Structure 1
Amino acid sequence: MTRIMAAREARVRRKRAVIQVMAGFIGILLIYTLYVGIAIWNYAHRTANIPSDAAIVLGAAVWEERPSPVFQGRIDHALWLYDRQYVDKLIFTGGRGSEDELAESEVARQYAIEHGVPESDILVETASTITEQNLHFANKVGDSAGLSSYLIVSDPLHMKRAMMMAEDMGLEANPSPAARSAYQSLSSKVPFLIREVFYYIGYQLASPFR
């Protein structure tokens, strides 16, 4: 009987230990998730408009061959940088969606030309579908054109992750978040922030396997 009781108590202790370990792990994960969210939020409006060779504009959706409001906000900010001679060239990124006739970057180029940018000052890549690819292919395009320094343009809450990726790729880059982002209200910012926290942590977890 004593042995049975001892075995039962041992099982209870093991279960309790497992629960404590799991609770500790979940607690650490929640704290780190909160830390990442705060870091992304605080980084959002960090701007370093240092004169550079080009602005890399991260892709976003297009609507019937026109930039979506999100993409237009990014493009307009790049045009502002170009007009004020912070950059000499514009690199637009983004491939073609399954239902789109033009790639995101091609729509952006068309928009920039309509707003007075010479075609010779516009570079595009049409292969990317995610942020990491945006930067990877933009870097290749820039290298081919003899460019070496960049301002990264995207929505403010996207900048922390984008700059981490740019740094991992060895890009000489600085953040230049879109001043007129389509994400203005708290109801639009919170879902974007949650998504960015998820992607940011996912990118970090996958880094050792690259």
Structure 2
Amino acid sequence: MPNYKIQKRRLILVLLALMSALMLAFISTALSIYLYSSNINNKAEAAIVLGAAVWGEEPSPVFRERINHAINLYKNGDVSTIIFTGGVGDRNEPAEAIVGKNYAIAQRVKAANILIETQSRTTSQNLKNALKVGSDNQLTKFLIVSDPLHMKRAVLMARDLGMDAYPSPTPTTRYRSFHSQMEFLMRETYFYLVYLVLKI
């Protein structure tokens, strides 16, 4: 019986140590995502705008922030081309990329300087399809445009595809409240860690 109690206690200690290590890994990853801003490059050949929801014919507030940032990069001469990504969502709506293109044209971006892909539904697909579109148009250096908390995972995925890619987070975000930021951060941390595990 004493040996059983000792073994049980050791098992509990091992489990506690494992849970502590996992919690520490999660917290440190979340912090690195929150603070991520390294290697920001403000000039490239094209900006890849990662897709987000659309509301009817209009971009959602989150998507609009991304589009506006890409438009600013274009008008400032930091990129010469904008690549919009994103397909049709669950509802009968136009593709995210088409909504983004129409919005940008209305803001006086030349249609000739806009490329789109309308098949993707995930960040990974956004990047893979955008890379093909870019390669088909002899574009080799990219700025990835998305929300700040989305940047670290998106840029890692882009570079894993062999893309010469750099983060260009939106200077503003629709995730402004503490609750919405924490919810987004926890989700991003989970997906980032899952992506790292699947790579191994």
Residue 54 (structure 2) aligns with = 62
Residue 142 (structure 1) aligns with = 134
Q: How does 1:70-89 map to 2 (within 5 A)?
A: 70-89=62-81
Q: How many residues align structurally? A: 200
Matched, 1:13 2:6: yes
Matched, 1:105 2:97: yes
- Aligned partner of 1:196 among 181, 188, 193: 188
Residue 4 (structure 1) aligns with = none
**Aligned Cα root-mean-square deviation (Å):** 1.4
Asked whether the 8 Å contact 1:150–1:172 carries over to 2, the reply is: yes
Q: How does 1:18-37 map to 2 (within 5 A)?
A: 18-37=11-30
**CA shift at 1:46, angstroms?**
4.8
CA distance in 2, matches of 1:181, 1:141: 27
Report the TM-score, using the length of structure 2 for normalisation: 0.95
Q: What secondary structure is seen at the aligned counterpart in 1 of 2:80?
A: strand
CA distance in 1, matches of 2:113, 2:163: 20
Name structure 2 gaps, 5 residues minimum.
none
Quick check: 124-133 or 60-69, which moved more?
124-133
Cα deviations across residues 66-119 of structure 1 (Å, max 9, x unaligned)?
100000000000000000111011011111112032111111011111111111
Counting aligned pairs with the same residue, the percent is: 44
**CA shift at 1:47, angstroms?**
6.8
CA distance in 2, matches of 1:65, 1:47: 35
Name structure 1 gaps, 5 residues minimum.
1-7
Larger Rg: 1 or 2? 1
Cα deviations across residues 110-153 of structure 1 (Å, max 9, x unaligned)?
11111111111111111111111111111111111110000010
- Aligned partner of 2:34 among 25, 29, 41: 41
Shift in CA distance, 79/203, structure 1 to aligned 2, threshold 3 Å = same
Asked whether the 8 Å contact 2:85–2:96 carries over to 1, the reply is: yes
Report the TM-score, using the length of structure 1 for normalisation: 0.91
